[in-house]
Amino acid sequence: MTLQGWVPEIGEFLTLAEVIDLAFDYRGNTTVVKVDGTEIEGYVFNRNREASEPVIEMFDAAGTGPIRIPYSEIRNIKFTGRDMAAGNSWQAWLERKEREEAEKAARLETGPA
Amino acid sequence: MSVPLSQMWTVAAYVLKQKLSGRERYPLVLMLEPLFRCNLTCAGCGKIQYPAQILKKHLTLEQCLKAVDECGAPVVSIPGGEPLMYPQIGGLVDALVERKKYVYLCTNALLLKEKLEQGVLEPSKYVSLSIHMDGLREEHDEAVCRDGVYDRAVEAIKEALRRGFRVTTNTTLFDGASPLRMREFFDEMMGLGVEGMMLSPGYGYSKAPDQEHFLRRGRTHDLFSKMLSDARKHWKFNQSPLFLQFLMGKRDYECTPWGNPTFNLFGWQRPCYLLQEGYAESFQELMETTRWESYGRKSGNEKCQDCMVHCGYEATAVDDTFSSWKGFRDTLVATITGKL
């Protein structure tokens, strides 16, 4: 299950603070849509909801930062980047090993060419 | 146990000083992650899943040393990512040695031989090359999802030992590990001539590729009891014997997440090396504003229920050694006899 590609609809059932928490947990780039209509794409690595003025911190897509954006300036966050934790390197490894074993067994069965 | 006397003495003096000064929470080992980039993608690792611009970044040497000085812990562990990919690793280690910090450079060893040949690192009593080895060849290569890594690590260990380095191993264990195979592995590592081995169960990272093999508490006790009961005389462990007894289910400890604070690209990680619940700008802010009561088994936090990882509990074990005569005696007996 990944949030990759999700554009949240903030409203009665989903608050901005909840979306920010999900973005903070997301291991990919997101696009922060600001109240003034501008957008910043990057990685949200921190959020402080208990500060007198709650803020997020992010590195933009070029790695510049940290950029601090108050919650009050955010309209929404879109999950636009690839979810780097949704990879399956271990699964791929297992599949490759199984394939190799099967090939080895098949070679043994058919004997030397 | 195999921790050198000078290191034991430094840690003992530091812990006693903290206790005498009435400091309730103190750091023991700084986990300094200069980068998240790695040349492996291990099945049980949840540390490196970041977008490219984050993986390309690393801390400056100045940021690293500022964190070391702020924290004040006598031991600095350098994990990552793969620390040998950090361009200033030589300078960092030198600066830590200058500060008389005991350093554990935690590496998968793929680049080690090359770095040793380049003279990037110098042997020192303060520096231990802590080589990631999750078992014998078959198990290790499977854990790191690449064939041939075990053999390269063994080759690098031999080269490091030949050059006079302190070499230890660090092993993370997952469900399905065979106690018998692990005992063979201990023999194998001691046969290579490493100074000591470090063991820990893996943490159930929600971001790790393999979500099926994290150990639960009962299985951890079972595995470690089978592996370490009747420990062979020549096995040396570079960690607190009380922590190993905890893993075997012989002791019950509570987590001390502040014992191994973590600093990386994002700042001081709350609350520990494993959980990422936010970042503080300074070490002081981390210590003073983290809600420590929300973590550890007693807190009821579900993320902590099965965790028995060294970075949460080894500091507890070391603190126990210096908190009572019994703790001190038990440590001494296990250290001298090697019995766990």
ipTM value for the complex:
0.89
Query: pLDDT category, A10, cuts 50, 70, 90?
Result: very high
User: Tell me: the pLDDT tens digits for B230-284?
Assistant: 999 999 999 999 999 999 999 999 999 999 999 999 999 999 999 999 999 999 9
- Residue A10, domain member (yes or no): no
In a domain, A54, yes or no: yes
Number of domains observed in the structure of chain A:
1
- Window 83-102 of B, Cβ < 8 Å to A: none
Interface test with A, best of B35, B39, B42, B50 (most A CBs within 10 A): B50
- Stretch 60-79 of chain A: residues touching chain B, C-beta under 8 Å: 60-63
DSSP-derived 3-state class of residue B272: coil
More confident residue, A86 or A37: A37
pLDDT digits (tens, 9 = 90+) for B127-179: 999 999 999 999 999 999 899 999 999 999 999 999 999 999 999 998 889 99
In angstroms, what CA-CA distances link B314 with A26, B71, B245, B326?
30, 18, 11, 17
A32 located within any domain: yes
Confidence of residue A106 (pLDDT cuts 50, 70, 90): confident
Domain of A27, CATH number, reads: 2.30.30.100
Position B187 scores a pLDDT of 97
Please check whether residue A96 lies inside any domain of the structure.
Answer: no
Instruction: Say what the pTM is.
Output: 0.93
Residue with the larger pLDDT of the pair A4 and A110 = A4
Inside any domain, residue A103: no
Please tell me which of the candidates A24, A47, A59 has its beta carbon nearest to residue B53.
A59
A58 domain residue, yes or no:
yes
B93: pLDDT strictly greater than 70: yes
Q: Which domain covers residue A73, as residue numbers?
A: 16-85
**Domain-embedded: residue A104:** no
pLDDT digits (tens, 9 = 90+) for A27-61: 999 999 999 999 999 999 999 998 899 999 999 99
- Cβ burial of B60 (10 Å; 0-12, 13-18, 19+) is exposed
The pLDDT mean for chain B works out to: 94
Evaluate whether residue A44 is within a structural domain. Answer: yes
pLDDT for B20: 93
Contacts of A27 in chain B (CB under 8 A): 49-51, 207
Taken in order of first residue, the domains within chain B and their CATH numbers are 5-337 (3.80.30.10)
- Sheet holding B29-32: strands in order across? B196-201, B166-173, B127-132, B102-107, B75-78, B29-32, B262-264, B267-271, B276-280
